[in-house]
Structure 1
Amino acid sequence: MEYKQRADRRRFLIAGAGAGLAAIGAPAVAQSFPFTPNQRYPDPSVQVMDPSFTRYRIYSSTVEQVGSGMRWAEGPVYFPDGGYVLVSDIPNNRIMKFDEKTGAFTVFKSNANYANGNTRDRQGRLVTCEHSVTRRVVRHESMGRVTVLADSFEGKKLNAPNDVVVKSDDSIWFTDPVFGINGEWEGSRAPREQANTNVFRIAPDGKLTAVITDLVNPNGLAFSPDEKKLYVVEWRGTPNRSIWSYDVGADGMSVSNKTKLIDAADQGALDGFRVDRDGNLWCGWGSNGALAPEPVDMNGRKVLQLRGKSEDLDGVMVFNPQGKAIGFIKLPERCANLTFGGPKNNRLYMASCHSLYALYVESHGAT
């Protein structure tokens, strides 16, 4: 079904993927980032840090820029039935769509309540974290209907739902830091009502439970392939950003045995990540913005520089299940989040500042 574009407004139909998610879009209008692909095989941007990573590198696959023109790209999710990726453009308050068949990169949904993390549930429906204004987790049904899954806890509004995953038992797990309400860039400034920044679980019957309450601004999260482990990024870790590992109880709801799996060190920034079938963690990576303690002279000015150079840090860091860094995909922009997609679930889509990048790998997403 097609929808005509009118001069005074655009209407977007959000339909469940099982019913053929569709929307009419317009070209992205924002800053575009120039990109020149590498011509050599293997792509020097795909760096082997441990011999074990060579099995995941495809010799004749290079990093591609498949869409640009965003201001802060986040939360990519792939829909196999339609062959497309949705990715949030948070400051522009919209969700973008990349169509694998046509190569078109268009607006999927405007006025998206500053959508951040997205995922697909077991029925193929889009689940979105609206991390400002509405501050809720929603599910997009057929014919444009939206179901609110969570918007408050214990009578108080959520902070700013950030990232979301769906477990095989149909429960939905999401993080609730404060990024969407602590400024005007990724939403609208608003008072915080929750005492903690929690990791929540929405049961299949709709019951909302705070599963983890002691992390400072939890961010990305994912389960191990067997769902016996839950991994969560702590954005304000002590002393550095970290990924914590938890054992998931036999009840499928409780977690225990909090263990630090990955420490990003004083220069790196962990954000979103995905797990492959072998249990490796493919992590968005870049500078955390930390400044050096002493200024340097630059053209007669004293300037505090970053501790680490963004051009050396931007990309995707790959860790094995034991937390050892085994590979790095160097990108010209900081990668915030990523997902596996493509017909064979072996195309890595990387949401990176202004652009969406893709790379075929000899690995497959766990879900």
Structure 2
Amino acid sequence: MHITRRNVLGAGLGSLALAAAPPAVAAWEASERYPDAAIRSLDPSFDRYRLFNASIERLATGMRWCEGPVYFGDARCVLWSDIPNNRIMRWDEETGAVSVYRKPSNNANGNTRDRQGRLVTCEHETRRITRTEYDGSITVLMDRFEGKRLNSPNDIAVKSDDSVWFSDPPFGILSNYQGTASSIELPSNIYRLDPRSRQATVVEGTLSRPNGVIFSPDETKCYIEDSAPNPRCIYAYDVVDNGTKLANRRVLIAAEAGGTPDGFRVDVDGNLWCGWGMGNADLDGVKVFNPAGKPIGFIGLPERCANLCFGGPKRNRLFMAASHSLYSLYVNAQGAGA
């Protein structure tokens, strides 16, 4: 059989009857009324991104901790990580079927696609960055820096020059829940990996617990979330030296009391759509900020949202990985980048 990207992505472990969700999650019901009251404008500028006749949908539930969603248009599917269950899940856009794509996943966390359409993954258990080739084989892109093991790669982005940027906090090695408890050998850095030379450099080494990382649509700015400070912050940097270094760090977003930003994506207008919540139930969902860092919109979910991505044939469907479940919402915005 000729192996294509679609074949590889379809080679999961078959349909899966997911376990019942915890009672608080299972009680959630989709809004039958338009507009969905869970979608709110915090500023009139967000109104243009809302669709009055689109509501939040729950696509799958029964996971332990969802992270790293990524959309594959050629296979019409979403992949995302269920970290403690040591698996990558797959939701089929045509049928709605949910299956296990990869198990064990080495406690995979963040996922993205490179510019050739291949899956690039952060793995906690093996403390490495991998790429899934078209034939399904796994290539290790990086597992050490200066002879020392990485911590537990967390979130990841691939720039248009094919360089791979990722955060490396120790969350996955602090206990045996999302990986294996192990010693920390390196600071919590943000790395830039050149896949051609295989040379890696530290582009940010001053943050305590770097987490989400993404670029503005024109790639002149890089946004990085730090999960250690109180309040948690999302920083903006200028991308300099032909796209190889970061400069001029400044606070773009400082979370409110109890606010917990995590992974995020940008749309073509430069707005940041940020996974949010955990401090209290009213903060659970996705918070949207304009390029200047002003909050303009909120999508309320019954669970804390860790990460998200844009997808669908027109890149106008938001997929949200939230604690136990995967949700989606059509919006009048389009995701930027690959």
Give the TM-score category using the shorter length.
over 0.9
Unaligned runs of 5+ in 2: none
Is the partner of 1:216 in helix, strand or coil? Answer: coil
Distance in 1 (CA, whole Å) between partners of 2:276 and 2:7 is: 35
Distance in 1, Cα, partners of 2:61 & 2:177: 19
Alignment size in residue pairs: 331
CA, structure 1 residues 28+207, in 2 after alignment: closer, same or farther (shift >3 Å)? farther
Paired residues of 1:87 and 1:97 also in contact (CA < 8 A): yes
Structure 1, residues 327-353: CA drift from partner, whole Å, max 9, x if none? 000001110000000010000000001
| Correspondence for 2:239 | 248
Q: How far apart, in 2, do the equivalents of 1:245 and 1:16 lie?
A: 38
Seen in structure 2, the aligned counterparts of structure 1 residues 136 and 28 have a Cα distance that, compared at 3 Å, is farther
**Residue in structure 1 matched with residue 9 of structure 2 by the alignment:** 21
Identify the residue that residue 181 of structure 2 maps to in structure 1: 189
Cα deviations across residues 44-71 of structure 1 (Å, max 9, x unaligned)?
0100110000000001000000111100
Structure 1 segments of 4+ aligned residues over 2 angstroms from their partners = 15-22, 28-31
* Alpha-carbon distance between aligned partners in 2 of 1:244 and 1:352, rounded to the nearest angstrom: 23
1:127 aligns with 2:120: yes
Q: Could you tell me how far apart the structure 2 residues matched to 1:214 and 1:18 are?
A: 40
Amino acid of the structure 2 residue aligned with 1:94: R
- 1:54 match: secondary structure: helix
Residue in 2 that maps onto 1:313:
283
Q: Is the 8 A contact 1:20 1:82 kept in 2?
A: no
Please give the per-residue CA displacement for 1:200-220, whole angstroms capped at 9, x wherever unaligned.
Answer: 001132111111000111001
Once the two structures are TM-superposed, the CA of residue 359 in structure 1 deviates from its matched residue by 0.1
- CA deviation vs aligned residue, 1:81-103 (integer Å, no higher than 9, x gap): 01100010000000000000000
Closer, same or farther in 2 for the Cα pair 1:16/1:208, shift >3 Å? Answer: farther
Q: What's the secondary structure of 2:213's corresponding residue?
A: strand
Match of 2:254 among 263, 269, 290: 263
Are 1:351 and 2:292 counterparts? no
User: Deviation string for 1:178-223 (max 9, x for gaps)?
Assistant: 00000111111011111x1000001132111111000111001100
TM-score w.r.t. structure 2 length? 0.95
Distance 1:30 1:181 in 2: 27
Give distance in 2, aligned partners of 1:17 and 1:74.
Answer: 22
The equivalent residue for 2:278 is: 287
Task: Report what 1:49 is aligned to.
Answer: 42
Q: Hey, what's the Cα distance between the residues in 2 that align with 1:149 and 1:208?
A: 10
CA distance in 1, matches of 2:46, 2:156: 27
Verify: 1:335 aligned to 2:286, yes or no. no
Counterpart residue type for residue 158 of structure 1:
L
Q: 1:360 aligns with which of 330, 334, 338?
A: 330
**CA-CA distance at 1:285 after TM superposition:** 0.5
Rounded Cα–Cα distance in structure 2 between residues aligned with 1:110 and 1:18: 18
User: Structure 1, residues 246-288: CA drift from partner, whole Å, max 9, x if none?
Assistant: 0000411011000000001221001100000000000000024
> How much is the aligned-residue C-alpha RMSD, in angstroms?
1.5
The 3 A distance-change label for structure 1 pair 31 and 163 is: farther
Distance change >3 Å, CA 28–CA 282, structure 1 → 2: farther
In the alignment, structure 1 residue 138 sits paired with structure 2 residue 126: no
The reply on whether 1:88 has 2:76 as its aligned counterpart is no
| Alpha carbons 1:30, 1:71 under 8 Å: kept | no
Where do 1:95-174 residues align within 5 Å?
A: 95-131=88-124, 133-174=125-166
Question: Which stretch of the first structure deviates more once superposed, 339-348 or 139-148?
Answer: 139-148
Q: Could you say which structure has the larger radius of gyration?
A: 1
